[in-house]
A and B are shown apart, each in its own frame.
Chain A
Amino acid sequence: METLIVPGTLDSLGAIGQYVTRATSAAGLDKKAAYKLRLAVDEIATNIITHGYQEAGLEGKLYLYAAIDESILTIFLEDTGIIYNPKQQILPQKEELQKVLDERSMGGLGIYLALGGVDEFHYERVGNRNRNIFVMHRIMV
């Protein structure tokens, strides 16, 4: 698919969601897998925009690219913000997720949903870019 380039602001989340939905339709993913991939990309994009750009006082764009081959759909999400590896963030543990809501901290919940919703997730730093790679299997194995 064509690359989607959008400003690194929260207003871009709608366009990102639409792009991922087009990719999951083209790849023929089932409804549940399609939703989880959209959620994963949206959560990571939100973190890049808020932590990688806004809180760091930086501006930049988000670059999305979808690749479909016979067995997998891969979404590449790149940005030029500060080095930000979702896999190195602290995720909520089971005890935290079982706590009553009054005692919850919300930290890491988005990344927890993102990493738990895709078949594979990879992160690379390439030059001045962060590259997040989301993989969904097209055929049940």
Chain B
Amino acid sequence: MEITIKNLKDIKVVKLVGDVDASTAPSVQQQLVPLAELNSKILLDMTQVPYMSSAGLRMLLTLYRQTSAKDGKLVLVGLSEDLQDTMSVTGFLDFFTTGTTLEEGLAVLN
């Protein structure tokens, strides 16, 4: 799992590359949760995440709660059809702001 974090003006752009399962989700969570500061804008680019298990849902839930608690915004982009299916059957998808591309996500946050 590779995680890169870049700042584009006031937006924290996080790119994940690799599978998010129970072995990788804890380190992703550990690196992402501190990004949720007061009013922070976080864009999570998951274009290169081919696989995500419920461990990834748990990570997303924690990140969602942290950003909401700090009045921040979280946008997910590039979710594959498979990831969307997993988030949909578990009732997660509707609660997240999502976009297809990075540009779309940035537009939502700007």
Contact = CB atoms under 8 A, between A and B. Distances in A.
13 contacts: A13-B22, A32-B81, A35-B51, A39-B51, A42-B21, A43-B53, A46-B55, A97-B91, A101-B64, A106-B61, A110-B53, A112-B90, A113-B89
A140 interface: no
Chain B contact surface mostly: helix
Interface residues of B, number: 23
Given A10-B21, A101-B92, A113-B86, 15 more contacts: A10-B22, A17-B51, A35-B51, A35-B82, A38-B51, A39-B86, A42-B53, A43-B53, A46-B54, A101-B64, A106-B54, A106-B58, A109-B57, A113-B53, A113-B54
Interface of A: 10-11, 13-14, 17, 32, 35, 38-39, 42-43, 46, 49-50, 97-102, 104, 106, 109-110, 112-113, 116
Contacts of B86: 39, 113
Contacts of B95: 100-101
Contacts of A112: 90
Contacts of B37: none
A35 B51 CA distance: 8
B65 to A, nearest CB: 7
Interface string B42-67: 00000000010111011001001100
Which of B58, B64, B65, B91 counts the most A-chain CB atoms under 10 A from its CB?
B91
B23 interface: yes
A112 B19 CA distance: 20
B19 A17 contact: yes
A101 B65 contact: yes
Given A106-B61, A109-B90, A113-B86, A43 B54 contact: yes
A106 B92 CA distance: 11
B13 to A, nearest CB: 23
B93 to A, nearest CB: 11
Q: Which of B51, B53, B89 has the most CB of A within 10 A?
A: B53
Contacts of A102: 65, 68
B65 A13 contact: no
A46 B92 contact: no
